[in-house]
């Protein structure tokens, strides 16, 4: 396995990555654009674009913003509403895997930024069955989350005649350099299927289960080309127009809005994915079992590129978290009704042979992770650390029992007298 000699990303990245002649990955090269672009000009471009959608006749909302209550959501909503003056409708696909801190942060977002909000909740038994199907068919327990979060906002925009959906950062650009900042790529039906959903769409599930019908899959069915042509919905990434720095943005959100942070099992980042029990635990563990890298690798790569972490320190973080088996796994297995043996058997066919090898006794070993390679960190490129900073851990308003329960529906408001996620 080859690794980027700047950010330590592996060459087998699931989103595809290119290492150049200097051994530097495409993600790092595209990140360099951030220091070359005149962002003041870009912000003026964004202002011109958003002005076109303000105060439309016969419409209550100027745009749709997908949210889960993350720190990035606070940043985007605050920017769109308070700086550019649009009236957004916030929409959330219910993952079924919510945490207490996530429920409170979402309620805090709706309350403090005073926005209308709409949520889609698919029946729990339907979601469990879809999870079983996608695990067995694709080795993916998180498909419904990706599909739902990428579909529901556009469904709402189409049905309510709101022609603009505003997203945060283009992850495929930011992580692996799939696009350039100069491309100003927008969120489209093609981008959703080919990149977000890895070419697995709702039609691939039809007929795979005796209990899940085409009607049950409507929540994941993207509007037709005819509907899109009629509604002219546009998907805009604000990350194309601003120097996207999630850590700094969220630290501002913590100070201004009281955003709560929380520790995670499989990464040192206490800001992201904390709304979901499984995003940075079971789902991330599956990524490790398939490819030999994980979310901690994503976070290290980004922090190295932002000149906050040395390669040596980043490697130490990866070694600490990469192979951690999540304590949240038994909760997921109980929820879906599977044994651990069944669960792993669903993952095994999708292990990347560059990263995993099975011996004659049937035991898998990770041969392609960065932990198994003796990298010479003195060679290659080292980004100078100019802004070292740790992730802030805030005080929680109530105990977080991540490994005991999922929250299907929590409170949608929060105030100084009633802040609890579920009970008053």
User: What's the pLDDT score for residue 306?
Assistant: 97
Q: Is the pLDDT of residue 424 over 70?
A: no
Q: Is the pLDDT of residue 198 over 80?
A: no
Q: What is the mean pLDDT of residues 261-275?
A: 96
Nearest to 244 by CA among 69, 400, 34, 59: 34
User: What's the pLDDT score for residue 338?
Assistant: 97
Q: Name, in order, each residue with C-beta under 8 angstroms of 314's C-beta and a sequence gap of 6 or more.
A: 7, 8, 300, 301, 303, 304
Q: What average pLDDT does the chain have?
A: 93
Q: What is the mean pLDDT of residues 326-331?
A: 95
246-255 pLDDT per residue, tens: 999 999 999 9
User: 3-state SS string over the chain?
Assistant: CCECCCCCCECCCCCCCCECCCCCEHHHHHHHHHHCCCHHHHHHHHHHHHHCCCCCCCCCCCEEEECCCCHHHHHHHHHHHHHCCCCEEEEEECCCCECHHHHHHHHHHHHHCCCEEEEECCCHHHHHHHHHHHHHHHCCCCHHHHHHHHHHHHHHHHHCCCCEEEECCCHHHHHHCCCCHHHCCCECHHHHHHHHCCCCCHHHCCCCCCCCCCHHHHHHCCCCHHHHHHHCCEEEEHHHCCCCCHHHHHHHHHHHHCCCCCCCCCCCCCCCCCCECCCCCHHHHHHHHHHCCCHHHHHHHHHHHCCCCCHHHHHHHHHHHCCCCCCCHHHHHHHHCCCHHHHHHHHHHHCCCCCEEECCCCCEEECCCHHHCCCCCCCCCCCCCCCCCCCCCCCCCCCCCCCCCCECCCCCCCCCCCCCCCCC
Instruction: Give the CA count within 13 Å in the CB-facing half-sphere of 409.
Output: 8
User: What's the pLDDT score for residue 417?
Assistant: 82
Nearest to 245 by CA among 384, 387, 381: 387
Q: Please, what are the domains in the chain?
A: 38-240 (3.40.50)
Q: Is the pLDDT of residue 372 over 90?
A: no
User: What's the pLDDT score for residue 321?
Assistant: 98
User: What's the pLDDT score for residue 89?
Assistant: 98
322 or 208, higher pLDDT:
322
User: What's the pLDDT score for residue 229?
Assistant: 87
43-82 pLDDT per residue, tens: 999 999 999 999 887 788 999 999 999 999 999 999 999 9
Q: What is the mean pLDDT of residues 317-340?
A: 96
Burial class (CB in 10 A: 0-12, 13-18, 19+), 354: middle
Phi/psi of residue 370, nearest 5 degrees:
-65, -25
Tokens encoding 153 = 């906002």
Q: Is the pLDDT of residue 26 over 70?
A: yes
CB atoms within 10 A of CB 180: 14
Q: Is the pLDDT of residue 146 over 70?
A: yes
User: What's the pLDDT score for residue 378?
Assistant: 65
User: What's the pLDDT score for residue 168?
Assistant: 97
Q: Is the pLDDT of residue 402 over 70?
A: no
107-125 pLDDT per residue, tens: 999 999 999 999 999 999 9
Q: Is the pLDDT of residue 377 over 80?
A: no
pTM of the model: 0.96
Q: Is the pLDDT of residue 191 over 70?
A: yes
User: What's the pLDDT score for residue 399?
Assistant: 86
97 or 416, higher pLDDT:
97
Q: Is the pLDDT of residue 355 over 70?
A: yes
């Amino acid at each position: 396995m080859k690794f980027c000699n700047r950010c330590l990303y592996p060459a087998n990245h699931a989103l595809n990555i290119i290492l150049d002649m200097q051994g530097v990955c495409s993600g790092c090269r595209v990140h360099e654009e951030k220091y070359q672009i005149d962002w003041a000009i870009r912000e003026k471009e964004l202002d011109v674009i958003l002005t076109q959608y303000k105060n439309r006749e016969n419409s209550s909302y100027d745009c749709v913003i997908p949210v889960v209550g993350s720190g990035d959501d606070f940043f985007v909503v605050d920017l769109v509403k308070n700086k550019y003056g649009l009236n957004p409708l916030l929409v959330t696909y219910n993952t079924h895997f919510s945490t207490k801190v996530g429920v409170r942060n979402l309620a805090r977002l709706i309350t403090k930024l005073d926005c209308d909000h709409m949520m889609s909740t698919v029946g729990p038994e339907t979601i469990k069955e879809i999870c079983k199907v996608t695990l067995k068919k694709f080795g993916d327990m998180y498909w419904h989350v990706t599909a739902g979060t990428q579909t529901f906002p556009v469904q709402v925009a189409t049905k309510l005649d709101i022609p603009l959906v505003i997203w945060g950062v283009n992850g495929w650009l930011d992580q692996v350099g799939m696009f350039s900042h100069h491309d100003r790529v927008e969120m489209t039906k093609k981008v959703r299927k080919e990149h977000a959903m890895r070419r697995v769409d709702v039609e691939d599930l039809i007929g795979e289960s005796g209990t899940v019908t085409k009607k049950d899959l409507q929540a994941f069915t993207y509007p037709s080309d005819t509907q899109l042509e009629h509604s002219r919905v546009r998907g805009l990434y604000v990350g194309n127009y601003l120097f996207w720095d999630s850590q700094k943005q969220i630290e501002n959100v913590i100070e201004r809005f009281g955003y709560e942070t929380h520790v995670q099992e499989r990464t040192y980042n206490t800001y992201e994915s904390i709304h979901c029990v499984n995003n940075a635990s079971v789902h991330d563990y599956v990524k490790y079992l398939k490819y030999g890298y994980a979310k901690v690798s994503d976070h290290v790569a980004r922090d190295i590129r932002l000149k906050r972490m040395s390669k040596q320190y980043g490697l130490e973080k990866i070694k600490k978290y990469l192979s951690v088996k999540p304590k949240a796994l038994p909760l997921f297995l109980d929820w879906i009704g599977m044994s651990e043996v069944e669960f792993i058997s669903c993952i095994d066919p999708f292990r990347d042979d560059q990263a995993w090898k099975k011996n004659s006794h049937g035991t898998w070993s990770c041969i392609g992770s960065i932990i198994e390679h003796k990298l010479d960190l003195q060679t290659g490129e080292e980004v100078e650390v100019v802004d070292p900073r740790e992730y802030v851990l805030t005080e929680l308003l109530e105990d977080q029992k991540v490994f005991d329960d999922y929250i299907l529906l929590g409170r949608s408001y929060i105030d100084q007298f009633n802040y609890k996620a579920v009970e008053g």
